[in-house]
A = this chain, B = another copy of it.
Amino acid sequence: MASDHRVVIVGGGFGGLYAARRLGGAPVSLTLIDRRNFHLFQPLLYQVATGALSPGEIASPLRAVLHKQRNTEVIMSEVRDIDVANSRVILAGAEVAYDDLVIATGATHFYFGNDQWEPLAPGLKTIEDATAIRSRLLAAFEHAEREPDAAKRRAWLSFVIAGAGPTGVELAGALGEIANDTLRHDFRHINPAEAQIMLVEGEPRVLPTFPPDLSAKAEKQLLALGVRSRTGARVTDIQEGSVTLQCGGREERIATRTVLWAAGVRASELGRVLADRAGAPLDRAGRVIVAPDLTVPGHPEIHVIGDLASFTHQTGKPLPGVAPVAMQQGRYVANAIRNKLADKATPPFHYFNKGNLATIGRNKAVAEFGKLHVAGFAAWFLWVFVHLMYLVEFENRMLVFVQWVYDYFTRNRGARLITK
């Protein structure tokens, strides 16, 4: 099945993996390069960070997912550079030639120029981030239990989450459940339900990309879990033991031992490489501003998809950095390459928005389908269903389902490990 036409995909997230799967059986010789050996189901990463699922349950080995595709090779390595003139991807100690190149390396956290905040306020992008956050959250309650001083104890029981997009809302809601339900009977000197959980957002409402009525419902659902939202507030400083907010011209210092960062996102470094080597235009977040067919302008052989791409041709502003966009772009690029080989034309990319979902907790979520807005149990049930469907696509992830059903009835979180 190997062929002369060499396709190289960099990145095994939703964009890269969906492109790779759609190219299985195509008359191409396909190489997928990722620095990790697994695909990560990022929408459920916050469940690892909050002890509900284990890392292995939301990660699928890339080789296993693709091993039936005879035309496909997986290389676990990091791309150092791209030699655009000679159509080669440069790895550590190796080079891979391409006829078509798909860059799908996504995005990472961004601290708006305050990189010194990173160790104090970890973000949630990798499995290691998730297990580190899990350890910090659980250790905070352990510290509080041992702390005789009331003020210090309050700081250990105070949690600040910066950014009220879907990830921030999920983290805050799950933390509310941990404090109110999961740990309820676990301590003798503290009452975990007294934890202060604050969700800070610069925009005037939580979930700013959702319609205002759903933002209001989400805020109410969060409050039911003990999460207070501070909207129109900006983090101006983070120190060991405190975070400083600016809110309506007023500064406020909050004593807290745990700050989580879900506020900013910056495109992967390969955006800059494409700018240097292929003259790719970048937007302010470092994303590659792609042509209507998702290629780099002037380079029809270089495709950029997912969170690294800024596609503005549909609505005038970039499509959101969410999994459905990446999946549809991955499939589009694979079809475009197949069409090119068959000498067929491909119409420009068009994102079909099936709707937006954000979950907050047990029976709590919001969903938007055009004019239809849903909140509460129905939205939550839909969220569970949709995420299980996608999970099951790669591997039989019935396990996650069993775990969820069990946890739903017991309010348990079994994976509460503090690890190093």
Contacts and interface: CB of A to CB of B under 8 A. Distances in A.
Given A54-B54, A396-B410, A398-B402, 12 more contacts: A37-B418, A55-B417, A55-B419, A60-B414, A61-B186, A74-B186, A76-B145, A94-B146, A395-B412, A395-B414, A399-B399, A399-B402
B56 A127 contact: no
A198 B75 CA distance: 27
A37 B127 contact: no
9 contacts: A38-B418, A55-B417, A63-B183, A64-B416, A67-B185, A94-B146, A127-B417, A395-B412, A399-B406
B420 A186 contact: no
Nearest to A182: B64
B37 A73 contact: no
A187 interface: yes
Contacts of A326: none
A237 interface: no
B414 A56 contact: yes
Of the listed residues A402, A410, A416, the one surrounded by the most CB atoms of chain B closer than 10 A to its CB is A416
A56 B146 contact: no
Contact of A56 (B93, B128, B415): B415
A284 interface: no
B406 A396 contact: yes
In the A-B complex, the 9 residue pairs with the smallest Cβ-Cβ separation, listed nearest first, are A56-B415, A54-B54, A54-B56, A63-B186, A67-B185, A61-B416, A37-B418, A73-B188, A76-B142
Interface in A150-180: none
A253 interface: no
A143 to B, nearest CB: 9
A40 B316 CA distance: 54
Interface residues of A, number: 50
A266 to B, nearest CB: 21
Contacts of A127: 417, 419
A142 B55 contact: no
A335 interface: no
Contacts of A396: 406, 410
Contacts of A61: 186, 414, 416-417
A74 to B, nearest CB: 8
B419 A138 contact: no
A40 to B, nearest CB: 9
Contacts of A417: 37-38, 55-56, 59, 61, 127
A399 to B, nearest CB: 6
Contacts of A73: 188
Nearest to A148: B94
Nearest to A61: B416
A57 interface: yes
A418 B36 contact: yes
A149 to B, nearest CB: 12
Nearest to A37: B418
Contacts of A59: 415, 417
Nearest to A36: B418
Of the listed residues A37, A127, A395, the one surrounded by the most CB atoms of chain B closer than 10 A to its CB is A37
Interface in A22-77: 36-38, 51, 53-57, 59-61, 63-64, 67-68, 73-77
A419 B418 CA distance: 16
Of the listed residues A51, A145, A399, A420, the one surrounded by the most CB atoms of chain B closer than 10 A to its CB is A399
A37 B399 CA distance: 24
